[in-house]
Amino acid sequence: MEAIGQIEDKLSQVKVLEFEDNCIRLSLKTPIPSSESLLLRHKLDYQVEPSTVEHELLIEVVEKTLEVHKVEIFPNDVPLNDIVYTIKSSSNMPIARNCSALEYLVRHVQHRILICTLRRLLLKDAKISRHSFEYSDRDETITAHLVGGIDAFIKVTQSWPISDSGLKLVSIKNSNSQSKSISLSFLYKVKELTNSLNIQTRGHLVRFLDAIEEILVREMHSELHSNDISA
């Protein structure tokens, strides 16, 4: 019971709602700062005021040892499998200095909530532009629909958008199944050019998508010109 009480003492915006048998139910309130204070590299078309995102976390533990067995979050809008896997894999060793498994879990869940919320804000902002895309939280992948019927698949780095890490183009393909497939050499060249862009461009979603389109158009024209010469 002492370990449960320490969660409230050490972590802000966390409240133990219930602890019965081998289940712990927590209330999490994750503060979301204003867009100006946290998303300095991303100028949004609308102002995001500071807010708080609320979740409930249901943790099933092993009796006596309090080892984490199963975790559920409500609403279920944040992927947690990798966090739970890390904790289970480290059950026989300390995860971090002076940090229990439960504390580690809650800290990382709150960080994940913050990251996912900020990503949704940026995606909402990007949709105001001419871009159309889908995003998968679980795969951390953006599928962007670009000019010429091209789909670009972009991998989101783990701490984006609050870290200095950039987005990464992993693949492109024609969205129209009737269109000519993209050659491996063309794909490799576009990926190489795109992923070698500066971090300021790769860290900003709309700029990155614009840059991918520019590279695609330029390389398509170059390829057509080469084909005309060799014909």
**What are the tens digits of pLDDT across the range 207-218?**
899 999 999 988
Pick from 83, 64, 65: nearest CA to 73: 83
Contacts 24+ apart (CB under 8 A), 40-48: 41/161, 41/200, 41/203, 41/204, 42/122, 42/125, 42/161, 42/204, 42/205, 44/121, 44/122, 44/125, 45/125, 45/128, 46/125, 46/128, 48/121
Burial 93-106 (b: 16+ CB within 10 A, else e): eebeeeebbbbbbb
pLDDT (tens digit per residue) in 166-175:
899 999 988 7
Would you state the pLDDT for residue 193? Answer: 95
What pTM, to 2 d.p., does this model score?
Answer: 0.80
pLDDT in tens, 179-200: 567 788 888 899 999 999 998 8
Q: Contact, 196 vs 117, CB < 8 A?
A: no
Helix (H, G, I), strand (E, B) or coil at 207: helix
CA nearest neighbour of 167 among 201, 127, 128, 133: 201
Average pLDDT across the chain, whole number? 81
Q: What is the mean pLDDT of residues 147-160?
A: 86
